Chain A
Amino acid sequence: MHRRLTVAMAGLVLSLGLAACGSDLGGGGREGDVETAEADGEASGELYIANWPFYIDKQTLPEFTDETGVDVTYREEVDDNNVIFTKMQPLLQGGDSGDRDIVVVTDWMAKKMYDLGYLQNFDQEAVAPAKENLVASLEEPSFDPEREYSLPWQSGMTGLVVNTAAAPDVDSISDIFDPKYKGRITVLTELRDTVPLVMKAMGVDPADATGDDWLAAIDELRGAVESGQIRDLTGNSYTNSLARGDAAIAIGWSGDAVQLQSDDPDIEFVMPEEGCILWSDNMVIPVGAPNPTAAYEFMNYVYEPDNQAQIADYNYYLTPVDGTQEELEKIGSEAADSELVFPSEDYTADCTAQPEPPSESVEEIEEEFQSLITGGG
């Protein structure tokens, strides 16, 4: 008995060891064999959605469940594209999504995950009703020209979020380097938001910036961090700094400003005179997603203009769904007239689609930017 126990335990240790050996961390993409997540009959069962904070109102999910009978687990677990990627990567490597059916990530991350073979193509027939309502400007993004594997959740603008009581006449990105606001500036830890805006302030067009341009902008930021001009680099938590009054100017996202206004009417989104960065966060279906049928049902549901209006009325981001403005007018929402939700061409004239660093220097640029965040030299 005793001996058998020992043998069993030794076996356990050995198999754990071997299992750990077998799973190599990271490693090669699986390009060329992207699977399609087929829809199968009526949507039912459970649906797990991983999304960013402050992105959905309180009614949409219960109403969706009432209408379709699909139970939704909705987690606001995406605070940073890199972090959700690393969290899911060891699972995705083994073809498992950790039960997630829909994950919402920004354009560049969607492409990166797709290239690594971590995403599935959409069943085009199943998602056709949603695509019918997709606004024309988002139909052919460069990273997924036929929307084979991604569908926008919301789009947004990265610009300045300002406490106008503390900083009344801010209109340019250069203002974050103004000594008047020393120690009261925060910028985002998202490389592709913060650095392109600084490049704009330096007179460089981020759309065709070289690796050196990116590094020069990071250097500019480093100077401001070391002198104490910039107080902190943060994710979504910059909203707390603004709300507490610690930060006067933040590089931030358009929709957040509106949500902060309910507590503090002085907080506003300011379109910098240099323009903004435009991006979309996209719904994608990871490999191993257990219930793609329900995922398509949800996509089609939120792409109904009246359902979308409810979400837009809450989060004030740019809506990707045609006909939402009319629906917002019907319910008397102020979002219908907001430049943040329906920007005029004039308003976004100088904005740039979120750029990607040149591929040959992306690694160096990311390292430099991280060393800025962790205070290294």
Chain B
Amino acid sequence: MSRRSTPYALLGPGFLWLAIFFVIPLVFMGVVALESGSLDQGFAFTWEFSNFSTSLSDFDTQFVRSFVYAGAATVLCLLIAYPLAYFIAFRGGKYKNALLLAVIAPFFTTYLIRTIAWQTILADQSPAVDVLQFVGVVQDDGRVLDTAGSVIAGLTYNFLPFMILPIYASLEGIDKRLLEASKDLYASASTTFRRITLPLSAPGVIAGTLLTFIPAVGDYINADLLGGPGQAMIGNVIQSEYLVLKDYPVAAALSFVLMALILVVVFVYIRFAGSEALMGDEADAPAKVKL
């Protein structure tokens, strides 16, 4: 094997994996999305582009709802995760590993069971809801379960570790001497945070938001178990089209549209996050500091 072909050979297994388990299935999904017919009569490939337009026009509410819920959950995750990761990275001391274990611990119980447990925690007569009613967050005759609030809370809870871990990793990697240097140069704590810590942890924040947002948009367990019909997300629609109505073409088209929309949102976000708009004029600060 020549020296030049080695890198390609090393890429081989990865490409093969992607080809078999991503590209080929994607092609078939694309083919199914352009079929028409029914299960009883059989499906035929007819370039049925209307599957895509119906997907968007019939289920626009659920698309919008999915992005709103996932966006809200991502913001909440970030607000909870950043201070927590900061504390573990900079103030964790000898408890650092124990704290990280606590973040990962819920994974030892399956996702489904933890979400079902929230049904009990948020039940109408539960102490948790009594407290929320007492402090006025929830109306006296209101409820939490089967509302948008419980679905967003469920998403936030379930995806929180995916936000904490990357942010922790990037905070942990910050060279502490940079913080000392900043202090030596008479920067206040808030300036140090704004100009050193935050920009250097930006890659973790971006990774965390993507790891939270992307699976949350397509999630259907939380809406299924913690929401009612008014909280159905696009995942629930795909499930119903595929498993109940057996309209495989529309289910495939919906999946494609979802994938395209997520790509657009993520692309815009990365452009935005990677530019000065998010990081102020420190956008390229990490590079400078490293020099």
Q: Is B229 close to A, CB under 8 A? A: yes
6 examples of A-B residue contacts, CB within 8 angstroms: A9-B16, A13-B16, A16-B24, A27-B43, A244-B124, A375-B232
Which of A28, A29, A232 is B229 in contact with, Cβ under 8 Å?
A232
Q: Are B245 and A370 in contact (CB under 8 A)?
A: yes
Q: Does A26 contact B (CB under 8 A)?
A: yes
Hey, what's the 0/1 contact readout for A17-34 against B, CB within 8 Å counting as 1?
100110011111100000
| Nearest CB in chain B to that of A20: its residue | B28
Interface size on B, residues (CB 8 A): 44
Q: How far, in Å, is B201 (CB) from chain A's closest CB?
A: 38
Q: Which of A287-339 contact B (CB under 8 A)?
A: none
Whether the pair A375, B61 counts as a contact (CB closer than 8 A) is yes
What 0/1 pattern do residues 360 to 377 of A give for CB contact below 8 A with B?
000100110011111111
Q: Which residues of B contact A366 (CB under 8 A)?
A: 244-245
Say what secondary structure dominates the interface of chain B: helix
Nearest CB in chain B to that of A25: its residue: B248
Central interface residue in B37, B231, B237, by most chain A CB within 10 Å: B237
Contact with B along A70-95 (1 / 0, CB 8 A): 00000000001011011101000000
Q: Which 6 A-B pairs have the closest CB atoms?
A: A27-B42, A375-B232, A374-B232, A26-B39, A232-B228, A375-B229
The interface on chain A, measured as residues whose beta carbon lies within 8 A of the other chain's beta carbons, has a size of 45
Give every chain A residue within 8 A of B87 (Cβ-Cβ).
none
**Residues of the A chain whose Cβ atoms lie less than 8 Å from the Cβ of B124:** 244-246
Given A246-B146, A375-B229, A375-B230, list of 11 further CB < 8 A pairs? Answer: A2-B1, A16-B20, A25-B248, A26-B37, A26-B39, A27-B43, A225-B229, A233-B229, A366-B244, A375-B62, A376-B232
Determine if B184 is an interface residue (Cβ-Cβ < 8 Å).
no
Tell yes or no: B97 within 8 A of A by CB: no
Do residues B244 and A232 form an inter-chain contact, with CB atoms below 8 A?
no
Q: Are A20 and B24 in contact (CB under 8 A)?
A: yes
Name B's A-contacting residues (CB within 8 A): 1, 9, 12, 16, 19-20, 24-25, 28, 32, 37-43, 58-59, 61-62, 119-120, 123-125, 143, 145-146, 228-232, 236-237, 240-246, 248
Complex-state Cα separation, A234 to B228, whole angstroms: 9
B9 surroundings in chain A (CB, below 8 A): 2
Q: How far is the CA of A21 from the CA of B123 in the complex (A)?
A: 48
**A374 / chain B contacts, CB cutoff of 8 Å:** 62, 229, 232, 236-237, 240
Query: Which of A29, A89, A232, A373 is B146 in contact with, Cβ under 8 Å?
Result: A232
| CB pair B248 A26 closer than 8 Å | yes
Question: Roughly how many angstroms separate A36 CA and B120 CA in the complex, as a whole number?
Answer: 48
Within the assembled complex, what's the spacing in Å between the Cα atoms of A83 and B239? Answer: 10
Contact (Cβ within 8 A) A370 B24: no
Residues of chain A within 8 A (CB-CB) of B237 are 374, 376
Q: In A5-52, which residues have CB < 8 Å from any B CB?
A: 9, 12-13, 16-17, 20-21, 24-29
CB of A364, distance to nearest CB on chain B (Å): 11
